[in-house]
Each structure stands twice: as structure tokens, then as C-alpha cells.
Amino acid sequence: MKKQKLSDVSKLLKAAQKPSRIARKLHPFYRGKIEVVPKCRVKNLDDFSIWYSPGVAAVCTDIYKNPELVYEYTNKWNSVAVISDGTRVLGLGNIGPEASIPVMEGKALLYKYLGGVDAYPICLGTKDEKEIIQTVKILQPSFGGVNLEDIEQPKCFPVLNTLRKECHIPVWHDDQQGTALVTLAGFINALKVVGKKIGKVKIAMVGAGAANICITRLLILCGANSKNIVMVDIKGTLHKERFDLKNSPEQWSLAIDTNANDVRGGIKEAMENADAVIALSAPGPGVIKREWIQKMAKNPIVFTCANPTPEIWPWEAKEAGAAVVATGRSDFANQVNNSLGFPGVFRGALDVRAITITDTMCITAATELASCIADNKIRPDKILPTMNDWEIFPKVAASIGVTAIKEKFAGKKLSYDKIHDNAKVIIKRSRAITETMMEKGYIKSAKDKI
């Protein structure tokens, strides 16, 4: 590929910095991104005798007699808690619960606008694994599901595993399952672009944290050969003599099961002759170098998804010979972003009253997401739909719902079409509310702030 001119690179860098510049202006202007508004009619103050005391006592009594009615009488059916301890926020690391609130509010905004789900940011003043688990368990009565977010490893693994076993509502760690779902969807279509089969490709996994561990698990379940996968962490490649990983069960298992050729070294060595690299490691640029991509197999796939800055700029990866390049950012082509997954995932899980979200459900949703682009429409710069393609979310919801029913993890049995159509109605309503509030001026214009 032709090398970018210096002036073009300068423009690209400036454009890449624009979202951060605007974010600093708009967050204090709106003083947050979400609020609570009524969903019932209030014609006059007499209505409060129905919505509150004394009328509400009858409803409480009904739920006491039959706890399942809480899903019919309250908003529990549509409520998700977004819970973080602020220890692994984006690419910023352990910045604490207060500094993580903007991310969790953003998550709640996406849940509502894209999935019609009412989500609430809950940032905890503890880093203790047992306290996080206990907090989530005691919050269960108020929510239909829980989204764990930005919790550091290794504790994110036992936190999720314990809660999935012991909770009666779905608990999901978006940094694991959400990232894996969308990455798998993008990878399925990237393979179609380059004409390679998942069972034959060699894959370098740069980063051995929560995201890449879950991605690797789903890739293997989908047919990738574990022997052809080489993972890299901060100390180098994972292999059978990485005894320092024995206290990290997830990483040690992959050290044993992957890297059959016993590749030693770092990122450079892992990428050599690889058909694909999937990187979720330290923010770049410069973490991955051009010359390493040049040493990959023909027509390599390069997913560099560190936030807020990819491990290598996409134009540099293309210049080095990458056939398909994806990042985690919306301002570049091929955004591999959890936002394509979790709104639809929880829409479907909530609507069938699922009690968990399994790997099979994630794989089914990834396949559905990938299929949202027809094979003849897939291009090197178009391997995934975008958030603008809002109709993908009802499809993801329906795929999640029917799989939960098949796996007998659902409390309600609905058809694919019923889940899909119901999701469309809810999501359309949610988007219309926001658009109406903008039109009426209840959400103020911020043009002069940009």
C-alpha cells in the first residue's frame, strides 16, 4: 500500500484526538448522560395515590404472595445494573470508582438507546473480590440482570464465575463475553474476506487478559485449532514452561493447550507467519510495529483493539500489508466494539427471563451479528455493521432468547419472531423518546460547545 503523506498522517492524528477534545466540553455541559424519568402517566397529584400510597400496598401484597409478579408489576424486567470497582477502566487502568462513572453512564446510555434497556451505573467503593460478589448478590432483587465492567484480572474471573453459579439472574462481564462476542463476529467475516478457514489459520493473541482469554475460548469452540494459537502477555509468549502462571488458572490452561510449536519470545515472534493477530493489550501506538505485520502470512488480519488508542494506527497496519484492519474505535472502519453486542444480548435475555448467558448463547449471537452483512456486501473495510444499523439489535436479542430457551435457561418461551418484534418495538420507543426530547429542547443543543 502507498505510504501516507506526512500531512495526511497529521490530519488523521488530529481527527483521532477530536472525540477526547469534545468529550471534555460536553460532559460538564450536560452534567452526566442519563437521568430517571417517569414511564407512567401523571395527570394530576391524585394519581400518586395509585402509584404510591395507599394504592401501591395492594401491589406489594401481590408480589409478596407471588414473587414472580415483580417482573410484571415493576421495572425489574427491564433493569440492568452496570457494576464496576474502577480497577481496569478502558486503557487507563486502576483509576477508581469515581473516575469510572463516565464510562458506566456511557454504558447505560448505550443500553437505553440501542437496546431499550434501563441500566444504572453502580461504582463500588471496594476492590475486594468477596465484597463485590456479595454486593451483586444482595442487589439481585432490584435488577433483571447485571453487567460487570472494568474489573481487573485475575479477580474478574472468580467474580464472574461465582456470580454465574450463585445468582438467579444473568450476570455478564462485558470485558470478557461482550468483547469476545463482537470480536468473533468480526473475525468470522474477516476470514471470508481473505478466503481462509478458521480451523487452518495461525492466530497471535496479543494480551492475555480477560478479553483475549474469553476470545480465545470462543474461537476454539468455533473451530480454531488451539495448537495454532500463540498468546503473549507482558512477560512473553505463553507456553508449557510458563510456571509463573500456575496461580492463574485461566492463563495456565491456555499455556498448556496452545502454542504447540513452542514459540518463545514476545509479540514479534508470536506474529511471525501468523494469519491473524488479535490484540487487546496496552494502548498504542507503537505496541505493534509495521515490520512485524510484514512478517505475517499473506493477506493477514489485524485486529488492534486497545482503548483509547490501538496498538498500531490502522493506516500504518495497511501500509505494512494488512488485508483487513479493525480497531475498537468508531472513527475508523471496522469498529470491533462491545456496543454492537450487549444491548441486544440483554434485550433478549431479559425478554425471555434468562437466568444466565452461556458461551453457546454468545456464539449464536456472534454468528447472527456476522450474518447481518450479506456475504456479497462484506469488504475489507466493512466486516461488521455499525451502531447506526439499529435493526441488528433485535436480531441479536432474538438469537440470544431462542438459544436460552433451547438450553433451558429461560423462564419464558417465545418464538424468534416474537422476541425480535418485541425488541423492535421497545428499541424504537427508546430512540423516539430521546429524539422527541431533543426536538422539544428538553435535551439542549450543544452546538456552540463543540
Active site residues: 52, 107
DSSP codes of every residue in 253-305: HHHHHS-TT---SSHHHHHTT-SEEEE-SS--SSSS-HHHHHTS-SS-EEEE-
Residues 6+ apart with CB under 8 A from 14: none
The number of angstroms, rounded, from the C-alpha of 35 to the middle of its chain's C-alpha atoms is: 23
**Whole-number CA gyration radius for the chain:** 23
Q: Match 492524528 to its residue by C-alpha cell.
A: 13
Residues 6+ apart with CB under 8 A from 221: 359, 363
Q: In this structure, are strands 236-237 and 229-233 parallel, antiparallel, or unpaired?
A: antiparallel
Sign, Cα dihedral of 64, 66, 72, 78: positive
Helices (H) and strands (E) in the chain, counts: 17, 10
In sequence order, the β-bridge partners of residue 278 are 205, 303
- Gap between the Cα atoms of 218 and 281, Å rounded: 18
Greatest distance between any 2 Cα atoms in the chain: 75
- Gap between the Cα atoms of 329 and 319, Å rounded: 19
- Gap between the Cα atoms of 132 and 88, Å rounded: 14
What is the number of alpha carbons within 13 Å of residue 92 lying toward its C-beta?
A: 14
In sequence order, the β-bridge partners of residue 70 are none
In eight-state DSSP terms, residue 229 is E
- Gap between the Cα atoms of 49 and 230, Å rounded: 64
